[in-house]
């Protein structure tokens, strides 16, 4: 079987990383524009309770609302503009109606790109608002400003900004084979690429080398960037890499990884088709890494 060049050309078109709206950061401090846009009947608003939001009966799109249809109160968050129309999120304590509501994780793979992009933005901020209520310096209460994108301590005036936790996710290869691992809690047959959070003071490339060695005992080099993906569960940025193995003996840590295997392209294709190898879903950058190495789409997913 002949395979295309590796990595596959154009393989960095990664789900959740497509630009879906203009974030218009300069408008976040324009109070007059924000008030006018909020009152505009054309403006679209999605209420978010916790991290859940309303969807259509089919569950394949956000059920956007006009601001006049929503209760007073809550935290208004400017998401941005799409085709000249302002889009907001409204953070509330409870759902606003009895219609279907869902989580972003459940919606992934079902929404079209514009709705996915808006909700990745909204849910990431909702998670941040929920976990950052008090100033880490003095304990004062944090108040949202800049249309929900900055928190200010009401005691000291110290500002807090939304955070993203960088994590590396990597496909290790030795030429003809790729290294995939699994966690003990996963269903039988489920395997994925290796991944881990970046330590303070550590470069992304160093994190790849360290994580692979810690989890599988394999030494790697030639760490090359692939692409990245926002992953708001709760607030990660997954940075994808390929790496070349210097050693191939596997010694899993039995903590994060319970098993790891070297697989050829033919083994991946055959086992994925038979369902004995269950790969990550298409929305994951892990799937993008595997399919870029393989050279095309593969059957089956989580």
What does the DSSP assignment read for 85-138? Answer: EEEEEEEESS-SSSS-EEEHHHHTTTS-HHHHHHHHHHHHHHHHHHH--B-TTT
Per-residue pLDDT at 28 exceeds 60: yes
**How far does CA 291 lie from the centroid of its chain?**
18
Using a CB cutoff of 8 Å and minimum separation of 24, what contacts does 250-253 make?
250/179, 250/216, 250/217, 250/218, 251/216, 251/217, 252/181, 252/215, 252/216, 252/217, 253/214, 253/215, 253/216
Q: What's this model's pTM, rounded to 2 decimal places?
A: 0.89
Percent with pLDDT over 90 in the chain: 84
Which residues, other chains included, contact 269 with Cβ-Cβ below 8 Å and sequence gap of 6+?
294, 298, 299
Confidence of residue 7 (pLDDT cuts 50, 70, 90): low
Per-residue pLDDT at 6 exceeds 60: no
Per-residue pLDDT at 4 exceeds 80: no
Cα separation, 292 vs 286, in Å, equals 10
DSSP state of 6: S
Per-domain residue ranges of the chain = 25-131, 165-294
Per-residue pLDDT at 295 exceeds 80: yes
Decide yes or no: CATH 3.60.21 for domain 25-131: no
Closest CA to 178 of 289, 14, 302: 289
Predicted local distance difference test score (pLDDT) of residue 3:
47
DSSP state of 141: B
Matching fold, domains 25-131 and 165-294: yes
- Superfamily classification of domain 165-294: Nucleoside Triphosphate Pyrophosphohydrolase (3.90.79.10)
Per-residue pLDDT at 9 exceeds 60: no
Cα separation, 281 vs 192, in Å, equals 10
Phi-psi region of 274 (alpha: psi -120 to 50; beta: other; left: phi over 0): alpha
The count of residues in the chain is 302
Reduced to 3 states (helix: H, G, I; strand: E, B; else coil), residue 290 is: helix
- Asked whether the CA dihedral 211, 214, 216, 219 is positive or negative, the reply is positive
pLDDT digits (tens, 9 = 90+) for 128-150: 999 999 999 999 999 999 999 99
Confidence of residue 125 (pLDDT cuts 50, 70, 90): very high
Closest CA to 170 of 55, 58, 21, 290: 290
- Asked whether the CA dihedral 205, 197, 165, 140 is positive or negative, the reply is negative
């Amino acid at each position: 079987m002949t395979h295309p060049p590796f990595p596959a050309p154009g393989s960095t078109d990664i789900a959740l990383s497509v630009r879906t709206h203009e974030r218009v950061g300069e408008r976040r401090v324009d109070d007059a524009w924000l008030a006018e846009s909020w009152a505009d009947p054309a403006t679209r608003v999605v209420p978010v309770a916790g991290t859940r939001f309303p969807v259509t009966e089919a569950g394949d799109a956000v059920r956007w609302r006009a601001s006049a249809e929503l209760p007073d109160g809550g935290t208004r968050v400017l998401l941005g503009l799409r085709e000249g129309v302002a889009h907001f999120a409204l953070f509330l304590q409870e759902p606003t109606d009895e219609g279907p509501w869902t989580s972003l994780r459940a919606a992934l793979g079902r929404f079209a790109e514009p709705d996915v992009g808006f909700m990745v933005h909204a849910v990431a901020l909702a998670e941040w608002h929920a976990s950052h209520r008090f100033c880490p310096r003095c304990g004062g209460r944090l108040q949202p400003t800049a249309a929900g994108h900055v928190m200010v301590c009401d005691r000291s005036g110290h500002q807090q900004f939304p955070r993203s936790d960088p994590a590396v996710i990597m496909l290790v290869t030795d030429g003809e084979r790729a290294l995939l691992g699994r966690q003990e809690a996963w269903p039988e047959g489920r395997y994925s690429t290796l991944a881990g959070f970046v330590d303070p003071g550590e470069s992304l490339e160093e994190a790849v080398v360290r994580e692979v060695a810690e989890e599988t005992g394999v030494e790697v080099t030639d760490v090359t960037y692939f692409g990245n993906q926002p992953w708001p569960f709760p607030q990660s940025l997954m940075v994808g890499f390929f790496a070349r193995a210097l050693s191939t003996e596997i010694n899993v840590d039995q903590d994060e990884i319970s098993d790891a295997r070297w697989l050829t392209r033919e083994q991946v294709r055959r086992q994925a088709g038979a369902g004995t190898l269950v790969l990550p879903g298409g929305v994951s950058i892990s799937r993008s890494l595997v399919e870029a190495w393989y050279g095309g789409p593969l059957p089956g997913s989580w």
